[in-house]
Amino acid sequence: MQVYFDNAATTPLDPEVINVMTETMHEHFGNPSSIHAHGRQVKTIVEKARKTVAGLLKASPSEIFFTSGGTEADNMAIVRSVIDLGITYAVTSPLEHHAVLHTLEAQEKQGHIKLSFVRIDEKGNIDLDHLRELLAQGPRAFVSLMHANNEIGNLTDIKRVSEICQEYDAVFHSDTVQTMGHYIHDLSELKIDFITGAAHKFHGPKGVGFLYVNSRNKIQPLIYGGAQERNMRGGTENVYGIVGLAKALELCYREMDTHQQHIQGLKDYMRTALQDAIPDVQFNGNIEAANSLYTVLNVSLPCTEIADMLLFSLDIAGVSASGGSACSSGSEIGSHVLRAIGNGSQRPSVRFSFSKYNTKEEVDFVVRTLKELCDNHK
């Protein structure tokens, strides 16, 4: 049996997404920047996709810019805010995705900004009182706090963060890559400057994402070239990816309640089954449903003897899971997220992340496999 529980890294393409992408590939090959009929047809397709995304998020189509993915979108928001909005001070958390952390750290190293980190507790929750202190003591700040952590699943109340940022006239960017397509994002109500999305996290294609830029912010391109994306991103558009992204997000919004109930049920089922099967199993981050991303369960296991080989052993047994962000695979220093919350022990941790395609039978298989691995190395 082969089972896939690494959906926070990437998700399988939805068949309806494949269909709409292949149909577009077969019938529309023009360059959307061309003024002839073939080009105009494809331009219309791209703009229709933009309107679909904007409509679902309750934003204006002029606020949606397609990118190569979440990393580019995060970089664009950060770098252009520093340059174009006059940002000299930024606040983030030590739990952010490296697309945010490394970009902000590079800006500080280059002397463009001073960077502060908001405190977190042992569960990885953001100290919002400390955020207020940091914003009160510095110049106008750029705040970047992710909606849900991609490794431990903690949810941050970005509505509250946005309200705090408004009080101090701070620019607020949130990496919403893990929650896009899984939660409602109503940008007519949420006062935020930038959010990001990546299609492959919600059953769309890899290599395409978007950045939402609130219309009150006037920034320049990160990538220069042609006049694509209303002069905001040079380079011929990834038309088929854009079409797939819009269709995938549309499906997510249409089926969100059903899928959330199914996936939350699987997560709860796995948590209970692991507690019954493996004494001293623990969980990293928040566990309560209201404060935890329903697609992620980060498990800390007592079988320290196989810590270095656990993911490999799971793979051999037919279970695809991860120790953290897929972008950090191959790193020898481990998870920066687990280190930040004080999990420096030798206990191995595994991130299981779920999708609408997973089943209870697959969960049972994973629990049996983990139990056998731990029992065989007591």
What the block records as the tokens of 230 is: 């209303």
Distant-in-sequence, close-in-space partners of 314: CB < 8 Å, separation ≥ 6: 320, 321, 350, 369, 370, 373
3-state SS of 227-259? CHHHHCCCCCCCHHHHHHHHHHHHHHHHHHHHH
* DSSP state letter for 90: E
End-to-end CA distance of the chain: 25
Q: Which of 165, 252, 303, 327 is catalytic?
A: 327
Our answer to whether residue 252 is catalytic in this structure is no
Neighbours of 178 (CB within 10 A): 27
What span, in angstroms and rounded, lies between the C-alpha atoms of 206 and 198?
8
Of the candidates 317, 319, 318, the residue with the CA atom closest to the CA atom of residue 350: 319
The region that residue 301 occupies, defined by phi over 0 for left and psi between -120 and 50 for alpha, beta otherwise, is beta
Neighbours of 280 (CB within 10 A): 11
What span, in angstroms and rounded, lies between the C-alpha atoms of 300 and 284?
7
Catalytic positions are: 327
